[in-house]
Chain A
Amino acid sequence: MDGITPQLVALQLFTGLALGAVYVLLAVGLSLIFGMLTVVNFAHGAFFMVGAYAGYALYQVVPNFWLCLVLVPLVVAAFGMAVERTLIRPLYGRGIDYPLLLTFGLAYVMVEAVRIAFGKQGLPVDTPELLQGSADILVGEFPLYRLFVIGVTVLVLAGLWLFIEKTSFGLIVRAGARDPQIVRILGIDVARVWLIVFGLGTGVAGLAGFLAAPMQGISPEMGGSVLTVAFVVTVVGGMGSLVGAIVAGVLVGVVESLAVLFVPEAAKVSMFVIMALVLLVRPQGLFGRAGLMN
């Protein structure tokens, strides 16, 4: 295999980081929602897609990329909270399968609604002017916008970490993930906590969609393929673990990028092989807590 220089491998690694950034954002949201509510959100990819479209629609009204960057996660989070209150709340206590199945159906509805509203063809999205072009990162030219995405992801993760580790609300989130019964007994309104956490998780998914839009354009189907990856990453990292989501997201992104160099046919299935291997050795994922799912 000629042409594979250390430079190329390093560039591929960087590419893997950028790839992983979007995966990480999605997985973090999924993991939060699962860890706190034990809800498997099959509509997570649809929220990702809604974030992209919300950005597009918002941009027509407020043609400022930076403003939209802040507004889109809020809009999607609001929508997520509405969904939690009306559709998911009635299902608590019925067993884990029901919210899973509900969100499964919800995804269909969301995708079709977007098709009706925005057409089925997909829409072009331009990279904001400030972030166009590429930068020399020593190992080669790398698109500026992707560096930006990595940067935003790091900021969001830092913000989430601060929120969960350093605030009292974050304390409740951590406690609720460990033992929801006790939290309720202590008099805390768990329902409100769940509402906010669901909003948080879907808001981050919407942000990921908004960030991904200039890279790949937007289409109603864009949530489907990314959902599978998000699940793989969440499960490999361990459901309910934020550190796990980050590590697994980067791992999957990097492995996929390197697989393209060395074993191209297997690149697509590489993440499933990783998932199968990890789960067989450690059934709760890399950082998950054993017994969380009983």
Chain B
Amino acid sequence: MNRTTTLASAACIALAAWCAPAGAQTGPIRIGLPVPLTGPYGAEAQDQVRNAELAIREFNDAGGLAGRKAELLVRDDKLNPAEAATRALELIEKDHVDFIVGSLSAATQLAVNNVTRQRKVPYISISQSDAINEAADFSRYTFHESLNPHMTTQAVGRYAFRKGMRIAFLTADYAYGQEMTRGFTRVAKEVGATVVGEIRHPLGATDYSPYLPRLMALRPDVVVFNNFGRDNQISIKQAGEFGLKGRTKFVTPVLTYTSRVAAGARVYDGVVGGSSYYWAIESTTPSARALNDRYRRAYNGAVPSDYGSMAYSAVRSLLQAVKAAGTSDTEKVVDALAALRYDTYKGPQSYRACDHQSMQSVLVIQSKAAPQGSPDIFSVLQVAPASADALRSCAELGFK
């Protein structure tokens, strides 16, 4: 039995080596996009697909890379890391993609990254997470386009906290929540505010009544909701119903367009949060206007969301690097990407050398009332400019 399979393996390996294709320099430039089309973040993922397709079309309409067009391969990772890894393997082995952009949750991006860096495929992550910047998960081929909790908490915390304020956290007990709490605690210490307590809740909780009385007993001036998506919507709603909103300011690190639309104006009224992008910055940022106009033309007057536009930026900057390198060869593109200065949709961005984190601006926004269907749902309070100071130091991340 074993001898047969051993011989068979040897034969197959020899055959495979003989037939191995050289790095394809002709044919379309393939970009894989594994995103959670099914599951609770389906809406965000759909917008990511729309935005990515926009970037691809833009590149192809401008002639591509000396005639070579780009091609997007969209896959559903079902918000499951094992599924995401399988899709990544499939994209690399069967579809022979040149690059991968994607994933929305921290766990899925780490799973995809693990597969791509082993096989030397460039991967641009469009998911908030601190972990992918750390030395253990980093590789030459790993790039992080989206914000990380540290940047977000620095921007939002510096806006919302003042010396002497009492800060309380309602934290979802997983990596996202814990990273946000860590970031906000740091800012509080720096400005002289006091953290009076942290209440943790399990990811996916639907009833916050066990946690809210305890939170109220801490008598905070600011309550920070360190959770995301449905958790964020439900906890803010219930906190309002428990009477918390009158006495405290509600702050959340990431205030997404889709959450605000899903939960409605009354629930989110007055809540302050951070964001990577809001369409209204087009009044001051030309590249935002360019993206918005393209998106409006292509999708019936709608505007791109925060998570969606990140996908646009990742794909567009990647293709920019391909053009700059003049080839789709992996090593050359990686070098070009690492050195790239780009302004795809919200102002100047570039990758920091040690951890390939895209340095970019962070918006501080506040929810406001708006007529049903109108996209004018936030006001921009502040724009924290792109800077390496907003990131953790390379040494802190484990780099020598």
Contacts and interface: CB of A to CB of B under 8 A. Distances in A.
Given A16-B210, A216-B207, A121 B242 contact: no
B234 interface: yes
Interface string A9-51: 0011001101100100000000000000000000000000000
B210 A15 contact: yes
A256 B206 contact: no
A64 interface: no
A124 interface: yes
B42 interface: yes
A257 B214 CA distance: 11
A215 B243 contact: no
Given A123-B262, A217-B234, A217-B237, A257 B42 contact: no
Contacts, number: 100
A187 interface: no
Contacts of B43: 119-121
Interface string B20-39: 00000000000000000011
A264 B202 CA distance: 9
A21 B213 CA distance: 18
B218 interface: yes
Interface in B228-246: 230, 233-234, 237-238, 241-243
Nearest to A127: B241
Given A123-B262, A216-B234, A219-B230, A264 B199 contact: yes
A217 B200 contact: no
A260 B214 contact: yes
A109 to B, nearest CB: 14
B211 interface: yes
B241 A143 contact: yes
Nearest to B217: A3
Contacts of A256: 210
Interface of B: 38-40, 42-43, 173, 197, 199-202, 204, 206-207, 209-211, 213-214, 217-218, 230, 233-234, 237-238, 241-243, 258, 261-264, 266-267
Interface stretch (A96-104, A199-207, A221-229): A221-229
Contacts of B201: 260
Interface string A241-265: 0000000000000001100110011
A134 B242 CA distance: 7
B214 A19 contact: no
Given A15-B213, A121-B42, 9 more contacts: A3-B217, A19-B207, A19-B209, A22-B207, A115-B42, A122-B40, A124-B237, A127-B241, A221-B39
Interface residues of A, number: 43
A257 B210 contact: yes
Interface of A: 3, 5, 8, 11-12, 15-16, 18-19, 22, 115, 119-124, 126-127, 132, 134, 140-141, 143, 145-146, 212, 215-217, 219, 221-222, 225-226, 256-257, 260-261, 264-265, 267-268
Contacts of A15: 209-210, 213
A219 B217 CA distance: 31
A121 B258 contact: yes
B207 A215 contact: yes
B243 A141 contact: yes
Contacts of B42: 115, 120-121
Contact of B233 (A115, A217, A265): A217
Give 6 nearest A-B pairs by CB, closest first. A268-B202, A124-B264, A260-B210, A257-B210, A120-B42, A15-B209
B213 A225 contact: no
Contacts of A19: 207, 209-210
A265 B38 CA distance: 29
15 contacts: A3-B218, A15-B213, A19-B207, A121-B42, A121-B261, A122-B230, A122-B233, A124-B264, A127-B241, A134-B242, A216-B206, A216-B207, A217-B230, A219-B40, A260-B211
Contact of B262 (A11, A124, A222, A225): A124
A125 B140 CA distance: 47
B370 to A, nearest CB: 14
B200 A265 contact: yes
B216 to A, nearest CB: 8
A183 to B, nearest CB: 39
B242 A143 contact: yes
Contacts of A257: 209-210
Contacts of B173: 264-265, 268
B238 A216 contact: yes
A217 B263 contact: yes
B242 A141 contact: yes
Nearest to B37: A120
